[in-house]
Amino acid sequence: MINGVRVVVTGTGMITSLGHTTRDTWEGLKAGRSGIRRIQAFDSTGSPSQVASEVVDFKPEQYLDRKEARRMSRFVQLAMVAAREAMQDSGLVITEANRDQVGVLVGTAIGGLEQMEEAHTTLLTRGASRVSPFTVPMMIGDMAAGQISIAMGARGPNFSIASACASGAHAIGEAYETIRRGDAVAMLAGASESAITPLALAAFCAVRAVSTASVPPDQASRPFDRNRDGFVMGEGAGIVVLEELEAARRRGARILAEVIGYAGTADASHITAPDPVGAGAAEAMRRALVKAHVTPADVSYINAHGTATQLGDVAETLAIKDVFQEAAYRVPISSTKSMLGHLLGAAGSVEAVICVKAIQEGVAPPTTNLVDPDPQCDLDYIPEGARELNIDVVLSNSFGFGGHNASLVLRHFAG
């Protein structure tokens, strides 16, 4: 801790394919339900992959001013919904007295790709003069943080992070560090993603990263299974309210969990493939645990990155074994991407919210579709339904294209 500063979670917000609130998603995960379906956003006929984890029945005007919503891309809309839930859950009120000490850090891997595609089509078919003046503020990745700041009146540190599929974890980790060094007393932190578009799907198919298996949609994401063949694209947002402990206590906040460690590393290996033995991932976990002042034996549950790619799942397994040694075989691990798909930049923040709920309720969600375990992935991946546990310390992993690694450590708050 820097000068003894402790950082706690006082609110959560989440919108995913399993529901528009934290509770809806969490209840779905505990029940082992999948949000993966045939793509509804566009006609995917002819694509090698035709399934995704979409936020369905989402009408932004039910949550946002209609005029404002029209000027926000979908990833920003989702971030706004999650942020408002997190603020309501926390009970934090931003006033003239504290607004300079409340910041926003919301990441994304891709941002408003849909707006880029639409603007490009307009440019080619109707000419440059018909491109919307809202194209830039709708597509740039920092706009979720910017719009939340405007809506909430938060004038503290405000920026975005893009580190591919580690963006959400990095955002929460850097917000944690922002509070620890005294630059804010509270931060809304997390990430949002909505990139289920024809171009994104085609591009991920081209790089052979997504599942193309001929199986029912809810069976397409198979982390750690011998027959896994790639991730399933997902969308959604996860936001937490982080506060300096003493500030939270002064206002009588309900404390959900404590963030006690965070670290980021690089593989320095390949633009899309992980380090084969997970060296960078292992170092991120190791550093995060050291900074949290806990040992591998103290960890009650790991929320794995677990994307269901052939290389990634093996590399993460090897990394966990490297860090945890014999304890690797005793710690329960699961990949909630088996039900939610891979939310790309938002994956780490949604999974951080899931870890908070796991701590609160003493329940670790399962890894579904793990029917025929890969012999190289031989750890306890909770394959047979949610498991009740005495959960004190949780490790959450996020790894991204470009070799970005981030690990968060959260703990049950005991005063």
- Which of 20, 170, 342, 412 is catalytic? The answer is 342
Active site residue 412: no
DSSP string, 367-415: -TT--SB-TT--S----SS-EE----EEEEEEEETTTEEEEEEEE----
**CA distance linking residue 179 with residue 186, whole number of Å:** 7
* CA nearest neighbour of 291 among 258, 260, 259: 260
Give me the residues paired with residue 147 across strands.
Answer: none
Give me the residues paired with residue 301 across strands.
Answer: 394
**CA distance linking residue 114 with residue 198, whole number of Å:** 9
- Which of 20, 170, 305, 404 is catalytic? The answer is 305
Is the distance from CB of 352 to CB of 190 less than 8 angstroms?
yes
**CA distance linking residue 49 with residue 45, whole number of Å:** 9
Active site residue 305: yes
Which residue is it, tokens 């579904």? 368
What dihedral angle (degrees, nearest 10) is formed by the CA atoms of 211, 215, 218, 220? -20
Active site residue 342: yes
126 φψ region: left (φ > 0), alpha (ψ -120 to 50), beta (else): alpha
- Which of 165, 170, 355, 404 is catalytic? The answer is 165
Cα four-point dihedral sign 374, 391, 171, 113: positive
- Pairing assessment for the beta strands 102-107 and 158-159 based on DSSP bridges: parallel
H or E stretch covering 168: helix 167-180
Within 174-219, strands assigned E span: 186-193
Residues with a known catalytic role = 165, 305, 342
